[in-house]
Structure 1
């Protein structure tokens, strides 16, 4: 993995990272916003301590542990990645409430075109802020965006000590099972 100096990471601040998306995905994973490592590399969930890639594999969404640089392969599994807020920051607490709300509105409009079967928001706090749902909990939500159902998953950041990789994988696995039970293919045969 490439090592970046603090100056190189700071230079990535506010950069945009392209979504990994296609129309009609089984599950579109939605992070809060890109971190500086993600912005510097151009690969989602690139910080070594982030547990997204290991949990994706442990939960059965991917047949092997993938590297962030292999993010494009997710499309072949019917999976994609976007963010609530596109702007890269060092920490999510650098985002304003207005950025979350605007990000939620923009995401909702994108979903009408992309039409994924499931939107999986990674972080209950981000979901609450973006969609003004103060009582949301981890798990399936009542809210839909057209035919897109919503599931809130734990934030895979290494800073989220409330969830282990194993307990996160269980919750990701619940989503995978729900999608499969709807007849959605979420893993290649």
Structure 2
């Protein structure tokens, strides 16, 4: 089994770790609704649970501040095995989370923490006919949806991943987009789009970062969870060999730890996503001015790595 050195992903010098990939499948992916096993951290010496911060005199101490998390290497959560993808080909929608949280990784289901509003947002926006439970994530392909994560390794919060680590996962996401050909890819969390955008901007034809930066600066923020906050259809697309296209939509995080917007505001963003998907299915979205991502070379680089890992097993 091949071991990768992730020391370059650490924010602080001197922090290093090993990461063992188990994502490689032994054969062609199924052509129907399929569960795939994501990469998981290698088993190493177990790390004790993270301790809560405290003061010497709790009674006299001021109100505790919200705990901040910093980068943690993969072995910190080596006991957690991650969450499988549930995918189907030629799907309408591919939902992409940031990475599995501790609860999701423990239970083996996406967005499983009780405070996460993901399944409520899907239902209240009309994307699902009923409110699903986390253990029903495997039936999303029945609705012609796929679900995956940008980064497979579990953490308590996203801040325990490094930006470089998440950006390094974009080629794998491109491979999934080429493999399953979703009409729309929806990122559940703006930070996912930030990482994908970082890779896309240098791999897209006719893209001028300076022009794009000026356009963003000219947008007057409304303060709501709307297009002005970046929750909208993005100006990039992946074109497949058969001429079909995959577009990209950014949604707010549904985690209970992210309280920037209330749930009703998040539902409105999910509703716009559904309306966008409906327009795509009806052919009502003009994509001619969108930037075409040269995603094939990104996907091929991941496929080559996958092949090498298969040989090493």
Deviation at 1:36, TM superposition (A): 1.0
Which structure has the larger Rg?
2
1:107 aligned partner? 173
Tell me whether 1:90 sits opposite 2:156 in the alignment: yes
CA contact (8 A) 1:51 1:165 kept: yes
CA contact (8 A) 2:91 2:146 kept: yes
More helix by share: 1
Deviation at 1:131, TM superposition (A): 2.9
Deviation at 1:11, TM superposition (A): 6.0
CA contact (8 A) 1:30 1:120 kept: yes
**More displaced, 157-166 or 145-154?**
157-166
1:149 aligned partner? 247
CA contact (8 A) 1:140 1:151 kept: yes
Q: What are the residue-to-residue correspondences of 1:63-78 with 2, within 5 Å?
A: 63-78=129-144
Deviation at 1:130, TM superposition (A): 3.3
Gaps of 5+ in 2: 1-47, 50-76, 202-212, 217-228, 240-244, 283-313
Q: 1:170 to 1:89 in 2, by over 3 A?
A: same
* Deviations 1:48-67 (CA, angstroms, capped at 9, x unpaired): 11110111111011111110
Deviation at 1:182, TM superposition (A): 2.4
2:274 aligned partner? 176
Per the normalisation by structure 1, the TM-score is 0.86
Structure with more relative contact order (C-alpha pairs < 8 Å, separation 6 or more): 1
Tell me whether 1:140 sits opposite 2:233 in the alignment: yes
* Deviations 1:93-132 (CA, angstroms, capped at 9, x unpaired): 0111221111112101221111010100011122102331
Give the SS at the match of 1:182: helix
Question: How many corresponding residue pairs?
Answer: 177
Per the normalisation by structure 2, the TM-score is 0.53
Cα RMSD (Å) of the superposition?
A: 2.1
Runs (4 or more) in structure 1 with deviation over 6 Å come to none
